[in-house]
Amino acid sequence: MSSQKTMRAIAIKNGKGPADALFIDNIPVPELGATQALVKVKAFGLNRMDLLQREGQYPVPPQAPSTLGVEFSGTITELGNGATEDFKVGDEVFGLAYGGAYAEYIAVATGMLIHKPKELSWEEAAGIPETWITATQALHLVGAFKPGNSVLWHAGASSVSIAGIQLAKAAGASAIYVTAGSDEKIAFCVDKLGATAGFNYRTQNWAEELSKATEGRGVDVIVDYIGAGYFQDNLKSAALDGRIVNLAFLGGIKVENVDISYFLRKRVRYEGSTLRSRDEEYQRKLRDMVVENALEKLTSGEFKVFIEKVFGFEDVVAAHKLMESNQTKGKIICTI
């Protein structure tokens, strides 16, 4: 066990609440499992699920600690006696966890760690795991993307879609479309990331515009975070044999008066997916896909981690409030 018995971690007053309920607490350093590494955290990334979890609205997996945070970068300080893979004490790593990243130390399976290339900063590395793994999962594993397919990423300036646009482009997409809530976000997706075109859902009927852009054909893969609000238009916008990957319900969960004939007429597949509730083996397979598909390009700078803002550990309340404002393009990172 580590000689330092307690550590600073972000906790929530009364267990759940608004951003202002976050505070720095002293809690025990996590116990190390046999196949785990203890990592001294340098930086961690914020994700929308953190906001939901903070409000008590996210189903936290049973193996997760109560501390928020699923992605981080840092240095290995200790290894369990059954730890596998090629990690050693002192290695610089980044990775995905079931929770616990908003803290000075985190215990995590070595199967979820990636060696940090020196070309990536601590902040960039901390912003990769959740977003690039989720985007890889949505595009390749669930979305069954093939070179030449077209893709629609809703919430185009969200971190998962920013990764996804870059992945789809590199994998040979014939066209990449996005929806977003401002012309600035659409310009970012098209000019900075290389999306084909984007539609502002506040000022345009995105489904009609997409239909025009594809001459009525629709797109092969749709990655959706909206849920009920886009259910009908997603069905309309799918191509023959199209796949719709649902990752979140920002637009509600109750669907009414929907024409489901598209399922048969177009042979549409609609599949929901989560990452955090998956077992370690599934997550490790995704980690390997990210290493294979993205790590070299992230290291060379061909793929970019877009960071909106970096906050200190003490400013986590402001970091959460910025994420809640929905004004961001890219990751919000906290450093310890």
CB-based contacts of 311, cutoff 8 Å, min separation 6: 318, 319, 332, 333, 334, 335
Type of residue at 317: V
Residue 306 phi, psi (nearest 5):
-90, 120
Half-sphere exposure of 170 (CA within 13 A, CB side): 22
Retrieve residue 127's tokens: 């912003």
Sketch the domain layout of the chain as residue ranges: 6-128+304-335, 132-272
According to the model, what pLDDT value does residue 2 have?
A: 46
Retrieve residue 299's tokens: 């290291």
> How long a stretch of residues is the chain?
336
In the chain, where does DSSP find H-type helix?
48-54, 122-126, 129-136, 159-170, 183-187, 206-213, 231-237, 261-265, 280-290, 296-300, 316-324
- Tell me the mean pLDDT per 10 residues along the chain, length 336: 79 96 97 95 96 93 93 97 90 97 97 97 97 96 97 96 97 98 96 97 98 98 97 98 96 95 98 91 93 95 96 98 91 97
According to the model, what pLDDT value does residue 59 have?
A: 87
According to the model, what pLDDT value does residue 4 have?
A: 62
Tell me the C-alpha to C-alpha distance, in Å, between residue 59 and each of 224, 228, 248, 255, 275: 20, 19, 13, 22, 12
Type of residue at 49: M
Q: What's the CATH architecture for 132-272?
A: 3-Layer(aba) Sandwich (3.40)
CB-based contacts of 204, cutoff 8 Å, min separation 6: none
Of 1.10.8.350, 3.90.180.10, 1.10.3720.10, 3.50.40.10, which CATH number belongs to 6-128+304-335? 3.90.180.10
SS3 of 195, please? Answer: coil
Give how far the C-alpha of residue 14 lies from the chain's centroid of Cα atoms, to the nearest Å: 27
Strands 307-312 and 331-335: parallel
